[in-house]
Structure 1
């Protein structure tokens, strides 16, 4: 007995894709037109990829920013010849070559032997944080496009149980902008238990995750103060923020001490202590990024005298991604795609992303 269904004859044996050959700059990304099309294992599906968003995690992985040897913001990575054994987000060596791409929108074209063949033809999104490959152990997961190949190719395989059908009228590019950014934001909100009427501060709110967090916090009925670039204030207000504070303004003087219920932080760096200052007694601080730098100064007295909760947010419970699918299908969130690039232009697309000049997602269209 074989481990997968017979592939339909229209599925080619080779495909177009981009492989990462090692940690470094865009030169480490190689475009190929003769990569092998993967075959789904018994509990996997084969996806014809249509679109994949550009995300910070793919770039951080490429440059090796997750290495503890890097102590600055996300624009820098490991130095040439530096030890890179901990340069993936999970702290274990990355295996090269790797097809990156944390986002994946497409259609199922073949299934493994244990998957219902009726799923062929479904329009799907792949959960970015995969629990399947680690036996669903708590606080363990793989990132799609990091510990396994991802969406920067014409075909990809993914666990059937973590590949979600979605029914909506959005374009492929719009759907392809959702998985990583929105699941990260929804996870932070869920872990921080954000409720209606609470005041939530979101840092890095003009970026993909931050803008998603604005929408998702407003969906829960929260009052949102967004922190981001001054030139993008109208954009942040446009996706639902109630109040905007420029990133270089004094947050405590703008909001007042002990005035905020929850902080969702994607920036860290020098702003960390002021974020704790504006939290109320019993406030919750959730973090899932460190754009301004991973090393912060903490006065432990602030932490314990205010009874604060500090929440690191990477692992996602099963309901997070399922929630997103329901929000899409009920029209409760909306995508904001700024520009679509062809896959072959992944280097310029990532450089555009790094410039931070655009509000809205950048997405790769897969030929």
Structure 2
């Protein structure tokens, strides 16, 4: 049975109708992150309100704040984050203009507390994960919006989302562990689905120590593929422990290491100067998929590598319908494991993002809202 607003003391105009949230006020540095009181959302028809139990930190949170998705930005995220503010950035979000002020937060593990009109489940008290990539026109259309980039997300005590986008998960994982999953693992699973990875494939994973990369390693091995991963020197052991068959230190000559190795699929969220090299080592008829460009979005493509060798280049942002249900099943059957690097109180978001950008950690950072 749904809990009423009065039962939760969420009535409009009362002191209790406020919650703590991190509000991003515009494109820029950490000064754009304001920890303050905002109204607790009330569910509309077909919606639910969740109490946020834990919220993961991702590259997309930083990219959205910086305006990195604007075509006017040509550098990698790290360079933009340290360069300071330059000219005002327009159309810097996933879908054109970011709707500031915005509560970011793409990853959410939460508890259902309010049901809007017409919603029969999941029931109040249910622990759920939110599918952050939402196909607003159905799965036959590539149109999509993202929680925390296109509308308010999980960096708050409460969150309002469509009921169809919340998924009950029954497992022994902690809420902190669950909060590491949605964005990184959903993105990874989507790329593996799009490229059709199976037991006959040899998959190259760049940035394998990052959130998406480490998820790709686990999920590709779960599919029975052979995995070669690229990671920083200090993290090769951790990536190998995830199941990678071979780990190559970042900065190695990939042509020398992997030329003729039979790479059939490359999952590359790094891009930058190695993009052209990666295409040269993919076997004829192979597939390349990407959902990011950490090292920089501007790349060099030799068209002969593409058409003479019948390669398939696949961009992956909109998640296919089976991706998130697949992920819930993997969790409940114990086929993957979470990687928690560190937790922070919600109000420490700037500290968390600063450490996140240093890239010295292995695993995911998680923010904990006040109770």
| 1:82-131 Cα shifts (integer Å, max 9, x gaps) | 242210022x1111110000001010001111101562111000001012
Report if the CA contact (8 A) 2:288-2:311 is conserved: yes
**Structure 1 residue corresponding to 2:20, chosen from 9, 16, 20:** 16
Alpha-carbon spacing, 1:49–1:332, altered in 2? closer, same or farther (3 Å): same
**Structure 2 residue corresponding to 1:109, chosen from 102, 113, 135:** 113
- 1:219 equivalent to 2:228? Answer no
- 1:205 equivalent to 2:203? Answer no
Q: Following the alignment from structure 1 to structure 2, what is the Cα–Cα distance between the partners of residues 165 and 120? A: 11
Report if the CA contact (8 A) 2:22-2:35 is conserved: yes
Shift of 1:172: 0.9
- 1:95 equivalent to 2:99? Answer yes
Alpha-carbon spacing, 1:36–1:137, altered in 2? closer, same or farther (3 Å): farther
Write the mapping of 1:305-320 to structure 2, written as runs, cut at 5 A: 305-320=308-323
Q: Which residue of 2 aligns with 1:149?
A: 152
Q: Compute the RMSD of aligned alpha carbons.
A: 1.6
Give the secondary-structure state (helix, strand or coil) at the position aligned to 2:155: coil
Alpha-carbon spacing, 1:143–1:325, altered in 2? closer, same or farther (3 Å): same
Shift of 1:244: 0.5
Report if the CA contact (8 A) 2:121-2:163 is conserved: no
TM superposition score normalised by structure 2: 0.94
Give the secondary-structure state (helix, strand or coil) at the position aligned to 1:346: helix
Q: Following the alignment from structure 2 to structure 1, what is the Cα–Cα distance between the partners of residues 132 and 8? A: 28
Shift of 1:80: 3.7
How many residue pairs get matched? 361
**Structure 1 residue corresponding to 2:268, chosen from 254, 265, 271:** 265
Give the secondary-structure state (helix, strand or coil) at the position aligned to 1:45: strand
Structure 1 gaps, min length 5: none
- List structure 1 segments (4+ residues) > 3 angstroms apart after TM superposition: 77-81, 134-137
Q: Which residue of 1 aligns with 2:306?
A: 303
Report if the CA contact (8 A) 1:17-1:99 is conserved: yes
Report if the CA contact (8 A) 1:19-1:99 is conserved: yes
Give the secondary-structure state (helix, strand or coil) at the position aligned to 1:201: strand
My pick for the range that moved more, 72-81 or 239-248, is: 72-81
Write the mapping of 1:1-367 to structure 2, written as runs, cut at 5 A: 6-12=4-10, 13-32=17-36, 34-75=37-78, 76=80, 80=85, 82-90=87-95, 92-116=96-120, 119-132=123-136, 134=137, 138-257=141-260, 259-367=262-370
Structure 2 gaps, min length 5: 11-16
Q: Following the alignment from structure 1 to structure 2, what is the Cα–Cα distance between the partners of residues 334 and 260? A: 26
